[in-house]
Amino acid sequence: MDAAIRAFATHGVAGTSLDDLARTLGVTKQTILYHHGSKAGLVDAVFARAAADLIAVLDDAVVGEELGWSRVDAAVRAAFALAVRRPELVSLLREASRLGPPASDDAVAALRPLVDRALVALTDGMASGRFRRGDPRLVLVTAYAAVTGVVAEPELLRVVEVELDVRTAVRLRRIVLDVLAGLLRPELSSQG
């Protein structure tokens, strides 16, 4: 299953044949079909599993964290840690996004609670003055784009000739946190 996540993330769903996948798993294609019925079934299972992993990690990071900036900080740190440890999850998220409906419906449904809670947290924070005011949806989109973009594009990093090792990841995380601080922390006015 982890191998399937990696394969779909690396080569895309269309670019991964059941034969290839079976070969890397040391089984035959029919074994896979036996367990998941069809390739579409496998895709659903893989997306569901990846979404569950994502949710588990982010939930775990945020729980117990007090409201406000420290929660944002914790979420970003968890996201970066996950992205460095399992970058294929981020790539798979993108693949699901590109496939669009109806293939992505399940993943969208699975992640919606997470998104909704983030939106509630942002909205509450803005209402109570912990965060700068703004459209929480657009802020969330920007934050997501910044976090996933820097870890899901190894080619991009190759163009600017940096490697995504732990040190670089920490520095990127600091930049992203700076960015989010500029967007959210109320004492800062970043509009010149």
Identify the DSSP state of 86. Answer: -
Q: Which is nearer to its own copies, 52 or 115 (CB)?
A: 115
Options 22, 55, 94, 124; binder of its own copies; rule CB under 8 A: 94
Tell the burial category of 16 from Cβ atoms under 10 Å away from its Cβ (0-12, 13-18, 19+). Answer: buried
Q: Please report, as a single letter, which amino acid is at residue 5.
A: I
Per CB under 8 A, does 92 bind its own copies?
Answer: no
Cβ neighbours, 10 Å, residue 3: 13
Q: Which of 155, 151, 177, 179 is nearest to 165 (CA)?
A: 151
Per CB under 8 A, does 128 bind its own copies?
Answer: no
Q: Which is nearer to DNA, 34 or 141 (CB)?
A: 34
Residue 40, binding choice from DNA, its own copies, none, Cβ under 5 to 8 Å by partner class: DNA
Options 30, 70, 128, 190; binder of DNA; rule CB under 7 A: 30
Q: Which is nearer to its own copies, 61 or 92 (CB)?
A: 92
- Closest approach of Cβ 154 to DNA, in Å? 24
Do residues 57 and 82 touch, judged by C-beta distance below 8 A? yes
Do residues 49 and 1 touch, judged by C-beta distance below 8 A? yes
Per CB under 7 A, does 115 bind DNA?
Answer: no
The footprint of its own copies on residues 15-44 (CB under 8 A) is 15
Residues 6 or more apart from 188 whose CB is under 8 A from it?
Answer: 132, 181, 182
Do residues 89 and 146 touch, judged by C-beta distance below 8 A? no
Structure tokens at 83: 């992205």
Q: Which is nearer to its own copies, 26 or 166 (CB)?
A: 166
Residue 104, binding choice from DNA, its own copies, none, Cβ under 5 to 8 Å by partner class: its own copies
Point out which residues bind DNA (CB under 7 A). 16-20, 26-31, 33-35, 37-40
